[in-house]
Amino acid sequence: MSKILDSIPSLPVAESVEKLMDWVTGNFSALFDFIQTGGKNSMDFITDMLIAIPPVIFILLVAIAAFFATRKKFGLAIFSLVGLLFIYNQGLWEEFMNTITLVIFASIIAIIIGIPLGILMSKSQVAENIIKPILDFMQTMPGFVYLIPAVAFFGIGVVPGVFASVIFALPPTVRFTNLGIRQVPRELVEAADSYGSTGRQKLFKVELPLAKSTIMAGINQTVLLSLSMVVIASMIGAPGLGREVLSALQRAQVGNGFVAGLSLVIFAIIVDRLTQSLNKKQ
């Protein structure tokens, strides 16, 4: 049996992928350059705006937002205050601002793409059968692999980092949007039909409001997955706390790596609790 298998020629998968990548980069290089330039300028602008805000003001605003988002409970507000002061004290404030920019852009792009795809999956079984295997592929592929096309398309920097983060973080929003709409009670959908609602009215006034909790859970996961790609994206030049972790790893600086990693944990907890609080019913 092994002899028969050995006699079968290898499929030219790698060569085919290489040719496809060469064709894409050769024919769409102008588009990729435009996205690279526009994306970098936009993210640099947002980062500069965040850095221009005095750190004390920024920390107090986050603490106040956490206080009101958690229905006037002090736990998250105090944690945000102490955690952000720790990041500032360790001299990582500018890297923290770069990380916020990367996560914001990656999350927003993933949400803008993910929610319509989830709606399409919920409305069409054919679309679900096509998109679902693609999502499985995206979720099971190691995150490092996404760096290869990101660098091929956009070179080195923050834009390819965002590109890789979007691919990695997109599936939860798509899946949860599809799941939330499909779980809307059939009786309510039929009641909307009986009142003569159009498809758009039914979607925006019945299905999406009732699926909001599930969709927000998917958005929460997307934001956290975007944050988890920060360190990986730093390998292709994305700035931020991930670069500090990578630098500490390369130099075997355990202390610096721990501080940068702890800063990422603090940021992740704040983001997670804030997005979860938005999902709680009034």
Q: List, for residues 263-277, the tens digit of each pLDDT value.
A: 989 998 998 888 888
* Boundaries of every domain in the chain: 28-279
How many DSSP H helices and E strands does the chain contain?
16, 0
The answer to whether 236 and 180 have CB atoms below 8 angstroms apart is: no
Q: What is the DSSP letter of 146?
A: G
In 22-119, beta strands by DSSP E:
none
Mean pLDDT of the chain: 85
State the burial class of residue 147 (Cβ atoms within 10 Å of its Cβ: 0-12, 13-18, 19+).
buried
The answer to whether 242 and 187 have CB atoms below 8 angstroms apart is: no
Q: What is the pLDDT of residue 174?
A: 93
Q: List, for residues 214-234, the tens digit of each pLDDT value.
A: 999 899 899 888 888 877 888
Q: What is the pLDDT of residue 282?
A: 44
Pick the CATH number of 28-279 from 3.30.70.3150, 2.115.10.20, 1.10.3720.10, 3.30.70.1290: 1.10.3720.10
The answer to whether 211 and 180 have CB atoms below 8 angstroms apart is: yes
Q: Rounded to whole angstroms, how far apart are CA atoms 237 and 162?
A: 11
CA angle 210, 214, 218 (to 5 degrees): 145
Q: Rounded to whole angstroms, how far apart are CA atoms 166 and 114?
A: 10
Cβ-Cβ contacts under 8 Å for 13 (sequence gap 6 or more) = none
